[in-house]
Structure 1
Amino acid sequence: MIPELGYFSLTLAMVLSVLLCIFPLWGAHTGNLRLMRAAPSLAVGQFAFVLLSFAALIYASLTDDFTVSYVAYHSSSTLPWYYKVTSTWGGHEGAILLWLVMQAGWTAAVAVRSKSLPWVLRARVLGVLGFLGVGFMMYTLLLSSPFERLLPYFPVEGRDLNPLLQDPGMIIHPPLLYMGYVGLSVAFSFAIAALLTGKLDNTWAKWSRPWTMTAWGFLGLGLTIGSWWAYSELGWGGWWFWDPVENAALMPWLVATALLHSLSVTEKRGIFKSWTVLLAIAGFSLSLLGTFIVRSGIIVSVHAFATDPDRGLFILAFLGVVVGGGLALYALRVSQVYSEGRYKFVSREVALWLNNIFLVVATLIVMLGTLLPMVHKEMGLGSISIGEPFFNKMFAILLVPFAILMGIGPFLRWKQNKWAFLQNKILMGVLVSVVITCTWLFSSYEIVKPLTLLATTLAVWVALSTGIDIYTKAAVHGTLIEGLKRFTVSYWAMVLGHIGIAFIIAGVSLTSAYSVERDVSMKPGDTAQLNEYEYRFDGVKTIRGPNYSGHAGVVSVLKNNELVTRLHAEKRKYDIGMQFMTEAAIDAGFKRDLYLALGEQLSGDAWSLRIYHKPFVRWIWIGGVLMSFAGFMILFDKRYRTSAKTARKAESESAL
């Protein structure tokens, strides 16, 4: 009965979504305020019914209702309750329903939090979001329903959740990633609404910016946790593999990063309007492209959902409608867009524009490396591989000018700058960055490669230039403390984002250059040396979990004959699927990680083990978290929080 209630709720949500697509758009076109005012209620109602549908699926999983096909294939009675909840998005149908929850949630949030917008713009934004909701609800109800029954014959036990997904990271990684994916639909809807209205002024950019930054923050946090999950769960010691599914999430994040900077320029200076609209369309289009890559069955990956071609064809058709319709409308309106501001070559506007160019080029590189092997294979031309070396080399080339611009950016002013005013700050910053980096690396490592020195210097340069900018601007107001109090939330978000980038660049360069690994065969009592640490194998013990059994290798790590930590690396065998999984043991630190993976049992009581020493790898995730929270800080900016009085005033003016 509960699954049928879930399907019925989703059907009602579909009806409300259709009305949300029609009423406000027609009302905005005809000037019918009554139809436009129906949009917020329809949006909230749609969200309530989608949420009820999702709750029904969670209930079916928690109660082990194996008459539901989805539960039978992705859960089991032995799963801990929290992984039963996770199983609701561990397969294709449930993941799509989670996407719908996020889509409806963002739509309801826009309906509730956009009261200060003119009714025409507000109605069109909600109407476009309603159209997107219709597309995904049709896809769910017709091709991907998670509520199908296995009656009259059904299994007494489920097939269990994929062991790769039975990890704390997977509890929060997909929801965060989907929040980012779907959140970009708000920026897309604002852009389409502005094109429909024919008023590409600063208003739409101002109100689109906080939504875009929030979505960007969620997407970045999802990518960060996904990277950490791969590092901690897969047992291979890596944090990014340039897998097609990883790339599918990276591409919209790169474009969204460019969009944030472009929105800032459009809001403050009234320029880059057409470019900003194009980036908003591209960002959400890449989210849909990523959905197609993951769910069409054209790739094989631990992240992907290999499904039947009909599902992939539907997503491809919907992608064509969204992208084609958006670009067609853009082509019709772009001739009416005029930039209001003027600027010289040495200015913040040009620096941000170049920043956008580098980010878009990076996106095209990722797209080429991801799609070309697929297209090549589908055309019957054979298989080709574009792997890690290609991406690493291309991104290394782009990193240099990108990081240099990031360091110069805070020193630049709008409109025009005199080089004489900038050169002392820049030269001093570069000199100090080189001195700090050389002192740091040459005192810590015997060999320093030129590329490592360059990348680390760039990281220090970005962080140092940000610090210099903070001090310079704060000192203008007298005391440093008084100056810091005057900074806006948006400024602190920029600072946090740049510091995050510095952490990531430094972490990637240092862990890539100085990570050390060793494969060893050890019996109880044997020792192995790796850098300054001694690893003593204490033996293997039997372990038993709620739905698995296995062995845990116990290794004591010593430094100067003193115990540093004791690592327990596991080899699990899951009861239902009889699948084996490696659970790495990690001693995490700010400067280094000690990483241990248990291999196979060899002759006698000997076991194979893989030991890693990974310096500064944690800086990558520290940087990712800092950048993500920079996106969330915009929620605390007073400029984007409108009082009820202002909202009522805007509403009355729009009614006249």
Structure 2
Amino acid sequence: MIPELGHFALILTFVLALAQGIVSLYGAWRGNLAWMAFARPAARWQFGLVAFSLLCLAWSFVSFDFSVAYVAQNSSTKLPLFYRIAAVWGGHEGSLLLWMFMQTGWAFAVSIYSRSLPEAMLARVLGVLGLITAGFLLFVLISSNPFERMFPVPAEGLDLNTLLQDIGLIIHPPLLYMGYVGFSVAFAFAIAALLAGRLDASWARWSRPWTTSAWLFLTLGIAVGSWWAYYELGWGGWWFWDPVENSSFVPWLAGTALIHSLAVTEKRGSFKNWTVLLAISTFSLSILGAFLVRSGVLTSVHAFATDPARGVFILSLFAVIVGSSLILFAWRAPRVGAGGQFAVVSRESLLLVNNVLLVVVTGTVLLGTLYPLIMDSLGLGKISVGPPYFNKVFVPLMIPALVLIVFGVLANWKRANLLDLVRQLALVIVFSVVLGAAIPLLYGQWQGTAALGVGLAVWIVLGSLFDVVKRVRATRSGVFSQPRSWLGQHLAHMGVAVFVLGVTMVSHYETETDVLLQPGQTAQVGAYDARFQGVHMVPGPNYSAERGTVELLRDGKVVATLYPENRTYLSSALPMTESAINTNGLRHIYVALGDKYDQGVWSVRLYYKPLVDFIWLGCLLMALGGALAISDRRYRVKQTRTAVQNKAMNTHKQVQA
């Protein structure tokens, strides 16, 4: 009965979402306040209904209702409770339901926190979001119903994919989907502005916090996914340029360009066409990522489904969204003004170059991801595009983008003097070159590319600090008295610097040792000795594990004991690696247990990874910078003031009516 209630709630949500899209957009077109007012309660009811449906599916997992096919395929009586709950989104159907929960959740948030918007604008935004919700719900109801029954009812489930039985499943997909789906709000604002013919600073200001919110969630989602793969797969890598990894990275790159473009549109009224196209592209790339994961065109540890029919539906939805939005843009674009003028050297021009670089990088990553699929689908053979391609095209394009970060924040709007900027940054340039050349020497081997990476990181940090000191002195007020959006900008840029430093050092100075050890034998890893003490069996709730004991020694003293495991789950004969990691913030000692040989000999993989934590610390700082930016006082003050004005205006219209 409970699964049927959950399914019925989804049907009601579909009807309500379709009605919201049609009624709200028609009401905005006709100027009918009553029809426009339908959008807010409709969005809130949808969120409640999908939340109820998600709870129904969670209850089916918790209560071992194996009559539900999705539960039987992704759970078992041996699965611990917290993994049973996370298994709700551990497969294709449940992950789509989580997607819909996020989709309606964003619409709910817009209906609550957009009091500053004129009723017509809000109705258009929620109307577009309603149509998007209806499209995805139709996909769920037709081909991806998570409540479908199966008979006869099995006595035991097939268990959750062993790779997913990790805390990463609890955190990674919700964060990632919050980012993916959050860009639908930026898309809806862009479409609403095109429909209204109002591409101005107000539209950019309304859209900007929502876009930044989606971007910070996607940043955290990608970072958590990277960390999860790093410790779970036992390869010691944090990024593999896997096609599904790229499908989340591509919208992140486009979203980064969108954030910068929105800043120019809000401040100077320029880049309007850029901003609209980036908003359309970013959400479209999110849908494209969903297609890659769920269509069966990819074989990956990240892929959810292998049903081509589902892929055709998502591809059709992608075509409808992209096609209709581009047609609308082509119709409205000639009416959009050019915006404020600016010189060849100015903050606008530097941000324009930044956007061009980010778009080119997005295109090169997308090309490397899709090209093998296109070749295969055309019957032209199977090819593989791996890290060598991505590293060779990505890194050279990002170097000038990193250089421009500092110049971009220091340059004046409209017109700037390049020589004056260089003179101001003379000491920053000197220190960046010196420290960039010196720091790699601390690791025993100087490499030019390492010096370049370190120098760029130092350049961004010192350049950001220089701008902070300059502004604090000019305003004669403390750092925390400055606008939060400005502080968030610098914090996010410093996060980029920390990330670049971590990537540079671990890429150039990590070491990997694959050794055969008997109990009592040692192997060197970095400045440490790893002493293997043997393996013993450990039972788990739904697995048995071979747990190794490795002592980490420095100067003959034990400083840590690590316990890598090979787990064999009851539902799978394939062993799963559980690595063990020792960190002090400046390096990782990473240990993974391999195969067993004769006479108690085991294969052990040992990695020394300097500053690898800086990769995820940098992502965290970027996200915190985004969170700080969206809490800026000017958004709250202007929203409150505009909300009062809109309320008075709507009351006046009702009285006249």
What does 1:116-135 align with in structure 2 at a 5 Å threshold? Answer: 116-135=116-135
The answer to whether the aligner puts 1:244 opposite 2:250 as a matched pair is: no
Determine the C-alpha separation between the residues in 1 that align with 2:403 and 2:629: 25
Determine the C-alpha separation between the residues in 2 that align with 1:448 and 1:645: 58
What TM-score does the superposition give when structure 1 sets the normalisation length?
Answer: 0.98
Counterpart in the other structure of 1:616: 611
Determine the C-alpha separation between the residues in 1 that align with 2:424 and 2:548: 54
Determine the C-alpha separation between the residues in 1 that align with 2:570 and 2:50: 34
Unmatched runs of 5 consecutive residues or more in structure 1: none
The answer to whether the aligner puts 1:263 opposite 2:275 as a matched pair is: no
The answer to whether the aligner puts 1:541 opposite 2:536 as a matched pair is: yes
The answer to whether the aligner puts 1:144 opposite 2:144 as a matched pair is: yes
Counterpart in the other structure of 1:580: 575
Residue of structure 1 aligned with 2:515, choices 507, 516, 520: 520
The answer to whether the aligner puts 1:178 opposite 2:173 as a matched pair is: no
Residue identity in the other structure for 1:65: D
Counterpart in the other structure of 1:649: 645
Kept after mapping to 1: 8 A contact 2:489/2:629: no
Counterpart in the other structure of 1:22: 22
Kept after mapping to 1: 8 A contact 2:295/2:312: yes
C-alpha offsets along residues 241-288 of structure 1, whole Å, 9 cap, x if unaligned? 000100000010000000000000000100000110000000000000
The answer to whether the aligner puts 1:466 opposite 2:464 as a matched pair is: yes
Residue identity in the other structure for 1:446: G
Residue of structure 2 aligned with 1:640, choices 632, 635, 638: 635
Residue of structure 1 aligned with 2:551, choices 545, 552, 556: 556
Deviation at 1:654, TM superposition (A): 4.3
Deviation at 1:438, TM superposition (A): 2.4
Determine the C-alpha separation between the residues in 2 that align with 1:313 and 1:95: 18
Unmatched runs of 5 consecutive residues or more in structure 2: none
Distance 1:596 1:492, change over 3 A: same
Kept after mapping to 2: 8 A contact 1:160/1:577: no
Determine the C-alpha separation between the residues in 1 that align with 2:574 and 2:138: 35
C-alpha offsets along residues 490-525 of structure 1, whole Å, 9 cap, x if unaligned? 011101110110011111111000000101111111
The secondary structure found in structure 2 opposite 1:582 is: strand
Determine the C-alpha separation between the residues in 2 that align with 1:61 and 1:296: 25
Residue identity in the other structure for 2:318: L
Counterpart in the other structure of 1:280: 279
Kept after mapping to 2: 8 A contact 1:589/1:618: no
The secondary structure found in structure 1 opposite 2:184 is: helix
Determine the C-alpha separation between the residues in 2 that align with 1:486 and 1:402: 29
Kept after mapping to 2: 8 A contact 1:539/1:554: yes
Deviation at 1:410, TM superposition (A): 2.1
Kept after mapping to 2: 8 A contact 1:528/1:536: yes
- Cα RMSD between the aligned structures? 1.1
Counterpart in the other structure of 1:293: 292
Residue identity in the other structure for 1:26: Y
Determine the C-alpha separation between the residues in 2 that align with 1:25 and 1:357: 34
Kept after mapping to 2: 8 A contact 1:296/1:307: yes
The answer to whether the aligner puts 1:495 opposite 2:490 as a matched pair is: yes
The secondary structure found in structure 1 opposite 2:157 is: coil
Counterpart in the other structure of 1:343: 342
The answer to whether the aligner puts 1:63 opposite 2:63 as a matched pair is: yes
Residue identity in the other structure for 1:94: G
Distance 1:474 1:79, change over 3 A: same
Kept after mapping to 1: 8 A contact 2:514/2:604: yes
Deviation at 1:539, TM superposition (A): 1.0
Determine the C-alpha separation between the residues in 1 that align with 2:41 and 2:598: 69
Deviation at 1:434, TM superposition (A): 1.2
Deviation at 1:201, TM superposition (A): 1.2
Determine the C-alpha separation between the residues in 2 that align with 1:589 and 1:20: 53
Counterpart in the other structure of 2:111: 111
Deviation at 1:534, TM superposition (A): 0.6
Residue identity in the other structure for 2:39: A
Counterpart in the other structure of 1:400: 399
Kept after mapping to 1: 8 A contact 2:43/2:108: yes
Residue identity in the other structure for 1:419: L
The secondary structure found in structure 1 opposite 2:600 is: coil
The 10-residue stretch of structure 1 (206-215 or 336-345) with the greater mean CA deviation from structure 2: 336-345
The secondary structure found in structure 2 opposite 1:476 is: helix
Deviation at 1:483, TM superposition (A): 3.4
Counterpart in the other structure of 1:327: 326
Kept after mapping to 1: 8 A contact 2:530/2:551: yes
Counterpart in the other structure of 2:31: 31
Kept after mapping to 1: 8 A contact 2:485/2:630: no
Deviation at 1:309, TM superposition (A): 1.7
C-alpha offsets along residues 143-189 of structure 1, whole Å, 9 cap, x if unaligned? 100001112x0111111111111111121100000000000000000
The secondary structure found in structure 2 opposite 1:641 is: helix
Counterpart in the other structure of 1:155: 154
C-alpha offsets along residues 520-552 of structure 1, whole Å, 9 cap, x if unaligned? 111111111122111111111211111100211
Determine the C-alpha separation between the residues in 1 that align with 2:133 and 2:644: 28
Counterpart in the other structure of 1:310: 309
The secondary structure found in structure 2 opposite 1:598 is: strand
Deviation at 1:646, TM superposition (A): 4.5
C-alpha offsets along residues 590-626 of structure 1, whole Å, 9 cap, x if unaligned? 1100000000110121111000000111100000111
Determine the C-alpha separation between the residues in 2 that align with 1:529 and 1:274: 57
Kept after mapping to 2: 8 A contact 1:265/1:272: yes
C-alpha offsets along residues 552-610 of structure 1, whole Å, 9 cap, x if unaligned? 11000101112121010000000123331000000022110000000011012111100
C-alpha offsets along residues 328-347 of structure 1, whole Å, 9 cap, x if unaligned? 00001110111331211111
Deviation at 1:644, TM superposition (A): 5.7
Kept after mapping to 1: 8 A contact 2:488/2:628: yes
What TM-score does the superposition give when structure 2 sets the normalisation length?
Answer: 0.98
Determine the C-alpha separation between the residues in 1 that align with 2:375 and 2:410: 46
Counterpart in the other structure of 1:374: 373
The secondary structure found in structure 2 opposite 1:542 is: strand
The secondary structure found in structure 1 opposite 2:306 is: coil
Kept after mapping to 1: 8 A contact 2:193/2:203: yes
C-alpha offsets along residues 413-450 of structure 1, whole Å, 9 cap, x if unaligned? 111112342121233211111112223222x1221111
Kept after mapping to 2: 8 A contact 1:510/1:615: yes
The secondary structure found in structure 2 opposite 1:78 is: coil
What does 1:5-16 align with in structure 2 at a 5 Å threshold? Answer: 5-16=5-16
Determine the C-alpha separation between the residues in 1 that align with 2:387 and 2:418: 39
Residue identity in the other structure for 1:448: W
Kept after mapping to 2: 8 A contact 1:298/1:306: no
C-alpha offsets along residues 339-359 of structure 1, whole Å, 9 cap, x if unaligned? 331211111111111111111
Deviation at 1:630, TM superposition (A): 1.6
Distance 1:628 1:485, change over 3 A: closer
Counterpart in the other structure of 2:564: 569
Residue identity in the other structure for 1:454: L
Determine the C-alpha separation between the residues in 2 that align with 1:308 and 1:79: 26
Residue identity in the other structure for 1:601: K
The answer to whether the aligner puts 1:218 opposite 2:217 as a matched pair is: yes
The secondary structure found in structure 2 opposite 1:520 is: strand
Residue identity in the other structure for 1:38: F
Counterpart in the other structure of 1:457: 455
Residue identity in the other structure for 1:527: T
The secondary structure found in structure 1 opposite 2:199 is: coil
Deviation at 1:645, TM superposition (A): 6.6
